[in-house]
Amino acid sequence: MSQDGYTLAETMAALVMIGLAIGGLGQATFLIGRLNRATGAQVAADHHLGAAQRTLDDLLGKAGPFRVGDSQAFNGRAQSFDFSCDADRICGAELVTSEAQTTLVVRRRGRATAARSLGRVRNARFLYGDTRGLHGAWPAESDGSGGKPLLSTVVLVEGRDDPGRPLAVAAVWAQQAATCQFDSISGECREATP
C-alpha cells in the first residue's frame, strides 16, 4: 500500500474476495432453502402416515380375534378389508387412489367415518400377517397343517415388490372371544356350548 491509498491491484483483489464471499452466501442460502423444502415435505408425509397409523389402530385395536373359518368373518384384499363389527354391521377400510394422492377411507357400521390422505404414496396395498407370514389376502390359503391361523396384523405397504415398504402396521386384537373355552392341549379356542 502506498502513501496515497490502495493500488488498483489491491482494490481489484478486495472486490474479487467480496464477490466470492457474497456468491458463497447466495449458494448457502439456496441450499438451505432446498433442505428446508425437503424437510417440510418429509414432515408432511410423516404427518399423513401417522394419521393413517392412528386410524388403523383405532379401527382394529379391539376387533377380532379372527381365525380362518370363524363366524366373525374378516375378508381382506389388496385394496380393502371388511369384517363384522356389530349385529350384522360391516366395518373396514379401503384405499382410494387418484392421480394426485392415495386416501385411506375407514368405514364403521357401513358408513364412511374417516378419510386420511396418504399424500403422494403410489401403489399402496394391504398385507395380512399371521404365524405363517404375510399374505396378500385373508383368509389366506391353507398350508396343510390343519391349524386355524390367527390374523395378527394388517400392514399398509407401498410398492409392487414383496413385501413392499411398510407405511403402517396395525395389530389386530388377539385375545380370545368371551365365549371361548381354551383347549390347552391343542392351543385352540373352542366355542362354549350352553
Residue 176, pLDDT above cutoff 60: no
Query: Does a structural domain hold residue 18?
Result: no
- 1, part of any domain: no
Between CA 108 and CA 63 the distance in angstroms is 12
Is 158 within a domain?
A: yes
183 pLDDT above the threshold of 80 = no
pLDDT per residue as tens digits for the range 1-50: 556 788 889 899 999 999 999 999 999 999 998 988 888 777 777 777 88
SS (H, E, C) 112-158: EEEEEECCCCCCEEEEEEECCEEECCECCCCCCCCCCCECCEEEEEE
What pTM was computed for the model? Answer: 0.66
Summarised one tens digit per residue, pLDDT across range 73-119 is: 788 898 999 888 776 778 889 998 887 788 888 888 777 887 888 87
Which range of residues forms the domain containing residue 91? 47-191
Neighbours of 152 (CB within 10 A): 16
The answer to the question of residue 4 being in a domain is no
Query: Domains in the chain: how many in total?
Result: 1
Q: 93 lies in a domain?
A: yes
Is the separation of the CB atoms in 173 and 63 below 8 Å?
Answer: yes
62: in domain: yes
Is residue 26 one of the residues assigned to a domain? no
Q: Would residue 64 count as lying in a domain?
A: yes
User: Which residue would you say has higher pLDDT here, 179 or 97?
Assistant: 97
Across the chain, mean pLDDT equals 80
